[in-house]
Structure 1
């Protein structure tokens, strides 16, 4: 009699008990990723719309001939060659922009830190001095520039009149190519209230126990600043320098308004005034971008200038934020 074995047709292989936990873990991770993307979506949308797309469009139009009327046509590197090799004002504009970045940012940081230290040391009338130093920053850029140009007017300005009473023959300020950029620096130092507030907050946040310990060790004012104050405010100094570089790379309004007012040219509807007065000493790259893109309708060359500014700003920012560069300690 033959033995019959049970058939395995209706049976299935036992499932791996570790499969279900793995699938559950994957689902949890997937749900977590979607939640993170949902919270990041406002920033991602804003970054894509206001930075990513304009940057890609700028790179695209830099290789195109586009006058904002006809469809763009591909021209290869012609726009780049025109800007870098044939454009006569690119060199002076780039030099003026770099000069302003180096001098203006450095003096603003030093001056803002000095005013912050001064205000934190004042015992009486501190509210008055805080308000007095901060008020010029609240003035609109155009109004502040117009007022400052009239203050430094070589014939009727009160500054040159006071210098004349002291027996000093003052310069012509915005009418002199050698003094135009230093005058813009003075204008920026006049509105130093933003950096004063930032540095004042950081200085007040330095632990007082460290100053007391330094006093017990007999440290002087410079030693306390070097070994106590400076290490504590270094991140704020880095913030001020980086934001100052980015803002000065976009320097446009004050230089344009100062040049137009100092030139004495009447500005009315439909009038076109060439920027850079006097003798292209106040001409900056953002002014060239506007002139090429919105006055000459040469969008391709304007995009090339914008990309040059972007590359320089990114390179300087990365250099400043590199560990061991001086503002970020190498051991951090």
Structure 2
């Protein structure tokens, strides 16, 4: 038999206690659930291979036998005993100095032309962007080699012989393939140009500034953040160039190592000569160099990049 306790008149039953919620913890948990595919992918496909590569850079590893620890021998051999390594460094720096300024200049020139167009802007923007999608493929690089080879289009037009077989011209042919892929920076430049207020050009015109003066005094300062972004991005990509040089030189870096860029020599050491430890050391040196160059660009940007929201910059 059960008994019940009577509730006095005028009193209400106390509400049942509810568990305390932690909305912040719940939001963090949901965020980690959605981020888990990226975290897993970054850990397995990026961080873990980087850690393995760093370890292999201190070993003698030929892809078939277990790695043997050699300490800093790969690095000392790279800097003091390998003349082809320094030739690849010089070739890569030369390529970057040629390709990046030409590509950015052409991209900005085409963006300025598209900005002033009244009709067909969407069509031409897509047409100029198409090489950026196609140029990185091996098939386009092989076509490029045929164009600049003996008896190719350039030889027939100018009678200069095949560029890919001339040490002084082969690297230029590779650089021009990169310059031809100016679509991505062009689109970014075009977006930046469209954000410049028209009032600035009107005020400059009232002051008597011509088109060139408007470009120097208005367009370049207002576009400097976009220019800096493209410069950093294209410089990083140029240091890692591989496919154009590999295709144009038929995988040999010739003639006379004139197209032996850094990543191509890294590929040769790692997968052709089976010196994977040495190639891993080269990869880490490249990573450090790109980091230093990027840091220098960021440091020097303080003197020439203008941000409209920061008048004192």
TM-score, length-scaled by structure 1: 0.78
- 2:272 is aligned to 295
Alignment of 1:171-186 (within 5 A): 171-186=161-176
Residue equivalent to 2:287: 310
Which residue of structure 1 lines up, in the alignment, with residue 5 of structure 2? Answer: none
Whole-angstrom distance in 2 between the partners of 1:239 and 1:89: 33
* Matched residue, 2:99: 104
Change (3 A) 1:303 1:131: same
1:55 paired to 2:55: no
**Equivalent in the alignment of 1:146:** 142
Matches within 5 A, 1:57-206: 57-140=52-135, 141-154=137-150, 156-164=151-159, 170-206=160-196
CA contact (8 A) 2:103 2:180 kept: no
Is 2:149–2:161's contact at 8 Å kept on the other side of the alignment?
A: no
Q: Is the 8 A contact 1:176 1:278 kept in 2?
A: yes
Distance, in Å, in 1 between the alignment partners of 2:284 and 2:292 is 12
Give 2:304's aligned residue: 326
* Corresponding residue for residue 18 of structure 1: none
Aligned equivalents of 1:38, 1:320: Cα separation in 2: 37
Q: Is the 8 A contact 1:321 1:327 kept in 2?
A: no
Q: Which runs of 5+ in 2 are unaligned?
A: 1-19
CA–CA separation in structure 2 for the residues paired with 1:327 and 1:47: 33
CA displacement 1:198-220 (0-9 Å, x = unmatched): 21222122222222222222222
Unaligned runs of 5+ in 1: 1-23, 165-169, 261-272
Instruction: Give deviations 1:124-147, integer Å, cap 9, x for gaps.
Output: 554554344333333252222222
Task: Give the drift of 1:108.
Answer: 0.8
- Scaled by the length of structure 2, the TM-score of the pair is 0.82
SS of equivalent to 2:249: helix
Q: From 176, 198, 203, give the equivalent of 1:213.
A: 203
Out of 236, 251, 256, the residue aligned to residue 279 of structure 1 is: 256
Residue deviations 1:264-300, cap 9 Å, x none? xxxxxxxxx6x21110000011112211212222111
For residues 150-192 of structure 1, what are the alpha-carbon distances to aligned partners after superposition, in whole Å with 9 as ceiling and x for unaligned?
22233x223332335xxxxx25311111111111122222222
Equivalent pair of 2:58/2:74 in contact (CA under 8 Å) = yes
Q: Take 2:30 and 2:216, find their aligned partners in 1: how far apart are those partners?
A: 46
Secondary structure of 1:218's partner? coil
Cα distance in 2 for residues equivalent to 1:203 and 1:135: 21
- Deviation readout 1:57-81 (Å, 9 max, x if unpaired): 2221111122222222211111112
Change (3 A) 1:223 1:42: farther
| Number of aligned positions between the proteins | 289
- Secondary structure of the residue aligned to 1:178 is helix
Offset from partner CA, 1:62-101 (integer Å, 9 cap, x none): 1112222222221111111222211231011111111112
Q: Kindly provide the CA deviation profile for residues 301-322 of structure 1, in whole angstroms up to 9, marking residues without a partner as x.
A: 0011001110110011111122
Question: Any conservation in 2 of the 1:184–1:254 contact (CA below 8 Å)?
Answer: yes
- Determine the C-alpha separation between the residues in 2 that align with 1:34 and 1:252: 42
Counterpart of 2:225 (choices 231, 235, 238) is 235
Q: For residues 219 and 319 of structure 1, what CA distance do their matches in structure 2 show? A: 34
Moved more, 206-215 or 30-39: 30-39
Higher deviation after alignment, 51-60 or 129-138: 129-138
In 2: Cα distance, 1:121 partner to 1:66 partner? 57
